[in-house]
Structure 1
Amino acid sequence: MLLFTRLAVPLRTLQKLTKAHRWHHTSLTNELIENMDKKATWDRFYTENGSKGQFKNFEWFFGFHSVKDFILPVLQTMSHSHSGPLNILDMGCGTSALGPCIYRTSPCAVKVICADISSVAVKLMQKHSNSTLVQPCNPSSALAFLEMDCTHLRGYFVARSLDLILDKGTTDALVRSKEGQVKAGQIVKQCLQVLKPSGTLLQFSDEDPDARLVWLEREVRGTELAADVGVQEVGELRGVSYFCYQISPRTSERVSK
């Protein structure tokens, strides 16, 4: 596992976030900011983006290459004590290439599920995947797409079944919406339930550790399973600093230490 350290810098403003995402000033932009926890908002967003012609992956924050050095080493470490493909969930995938890139580049066998609440986004991703027919680095790897409300993970996955859950901007979208913070907390709790004892949830975010760590530690204290929380800086992009938050079930070995 990666060794994570705590950092502290001032909290970023929503205006800077909006600029970093290069959102267009449309009615949809205002709707997104206020209703990021609503399925209808995202269906409309991906319908509008999908109507512009040729398919193009839409990346929140950054693409796979900005975080591959965080993800691939974790998978490599997990694979040493694992038989069969690693089960990976890209939660709130939208039309990001993150999941497909892991499927394509991971030397170890992986089963990647790209899941989103928007049926429009899932259909766009499935159609694009079928048309490109990308071959994985490992012939035992698999890629699937799933329409899913990530606040109900236990309705889709059994306890202790996932090795890695990726959250690139999903929690950020929820906590900045009117009613989304409670849902974001529910997701963290359910992630800990469906992760294997050796598993990890990675949240990629632009929220500063002095705010996100306090929130995460409060949420995991409200779970039946103990968890460790850490953070590492990803880097700066277009004037915004990004971070990788790691939430891992606390095994008996970790507790004894």
Structure 2
Amino acid sequence: MASLLKCLSLSGRRIVASCVTLRCHSSLTDELIENMDKKTTWDRFYAESSSRTPTFKNFEWFFGFEAVQDFIMPLLQTKSHSDGCLKVVDIGCGTSALGPCIYRHCLLPVWVTCADISPIAVRLMQEHVQVKAIQPHNLSSQLEFVELDCMRLHKYYGSNSVDLIVDKGTTDALLRSKEGKGKAGLVLNQCLKVLRSSGTLLQFSDEDPDARLLWLETEAQEPGVMEADVGVQEVGELRGVCYYCYQVTPRLVVQQ
């Protein structure tokens, strides 16, 4: 399973080559390569992963919180407002420790929602944080795990209500699936709808800027309604792969 997890952190063209040796997990590997946009695929992934280890272990797509905290935490300090906790959503959270780490380290009161389409991943994380009794830096902060299809974010959150959305590999998984590209566009659209005008979407990815920037600039537009500013910073290289942080900020179109 460890080899399988390693191969999943690589880009599409490298997954096939890396999975040649995974004969004992070939069925799950094939399903992941082609169907990373499906709920049933991730239910199976988390069920099999948890059944093979006696104790819970977070699975980090790409890298952990430490690698990207300098992109996330300073951004939160600039988004304070007077109407309660900052709202942060980790979309497609799986069993990552990213959301809980934001909850633990944020100086300001923050409400962190870790959302995933797989109820198995959500249950595993709920059980884990109960056992660990994770404490926030700010006593007013809150942490929750919810089963949620991120193509329907707008049904869970109102417009202009979220300060920060973090996407660590979720859009990559959708874009690399046979039927996922349209879903990736829907997720992006939903993110822009629920973000405050001062809010930000951070996408962490190993996709080259030449491809991702063009996709974001094209998809993050709704003529006459919504536009977005898009930027990119290099996160760094890990295991020979270069990772990037794509920052998307919604901008309402002012009608003349």
How many equivalent pairs are there?
A: 240
1 CA distance for matches of 2:232 and 2:15?
20
1:20–1:238: 8 Å Cα contact kept in structure 2?
no
2 CA distance for matches of 1:231 and 1:82?
29
Which amino acid letter does the alignment assign opposite residue 170 of structure 1? T
- Give how far 1:155 is off: 1.4
Q: What TM-score does the superposition give when structure 1 sets the normalisation length?
A: 0.88
Question: CA offsets per residue over residues 115-151 of structure 1, 9 Å max, x none?
Answer: 0000000000000011111111111110000000011
2 CA distance for matches of 1:98 and 1:147?
17
> Are residue 160 (structure 1) and residue 167 (structure 2) matched?
no
Q: Taking structure 1 as reference, are residues 233 and 82 closer, same or farther at Cα in structure 2, changes over 3 Å only?
A: farther
1:36–1:177: 8 Å Cα contact kept in structure 2?
yes
Match of 1:202 in 2: 202
**Percent of residue pairs bearing the same amino acid type:** 60
- Give how far 1:195 is off: 0.3
2 CA distance for matches of 1:137 and 1:230?
30
1 CA distance for matches of 2:99 and 2:14?
27
Which amino acid letter does the alignment assign opposite residue 14 of structure 1? G
Q: Taking structure 1 as reference, are residues 74 and 241 closer, same or farther at Cα in structure 2, changes over 3 Å only?
A: same
Which amino acid letter does the alignment assign opposite residue 243 of structure 1? Y
Match of 1:6 in 2: none
> Are residue 192 (structure 1) and residue 192 (structure 2) matched?
yes
Question: CA offsets per residue over residues 25-75 of structure 1, 9 Å max, x none?
Answer: 522111001001100000000000111220000000000000000000000
> Are residue 151 (structure 1) and residue 154 (structure 2) matched?
no
Q: What TM-score does the superposition give when structure 2 sets the normalisation length?
A: 0.89
1 CA distance for matches of 2:96 and 2:171?
15
Match of 1:55 in 2: 56
Which amino acid letter does the alignment assign opposite residue 72 of structure 2? I
Say which SS state the counterpart of residue 87 (structure 2) adopts. strand
- Give how far 1:108 is off: 1.3
Q: Taking structure 1 as reference, are residues 29 and 226 closer, same or farther at Cα in structure 2, changes over 3 Å only?
A: same
Match of 1:72 in 2: 73
Match of 1:100 in 2: 100
Say which SS state the counterpart of residue 43 (structure 2) adopts. helix
Match of 1:245 in 2: 246
Q: Is the deviation greater in 82-91 or in 234-243?
A: 82-91
Say which SS state the counterpart of residue 115 (structure 1) adopts. strand
> Are residue 37 (structure 1) and residue 24 (structure 2) matched?
no
2 CA distance for matches of 1:169 and 1:28?
19
Which amino acid letter does the alignment assign opposite residue 114 of structure 2? C
Higher RCO (Cα < 8 Å, 6 or more apart):
1
Match of 2:3 in 1: none
Match of 1:85 in 2: 85
Match of 1:16 in 2: 14
2 CA distance for matches of 1:231 and 1:83?
30
2 CA distance for matches of 1:20 and 1:60?
16
Which amino acid letter does the alignment assign opposite residue 62 of structure 2? F
- Give how far 1:225 is off: 1.2
Match of 2:183 in 1: 183
1:165–1:191: 8 Å Cα contact kept in structure 2?
yes
2:11–2:207: 8 Å Cα contact kept in structure 1?
no
Structure 1: stretches of 5+ with no match in the other structure? 1-11
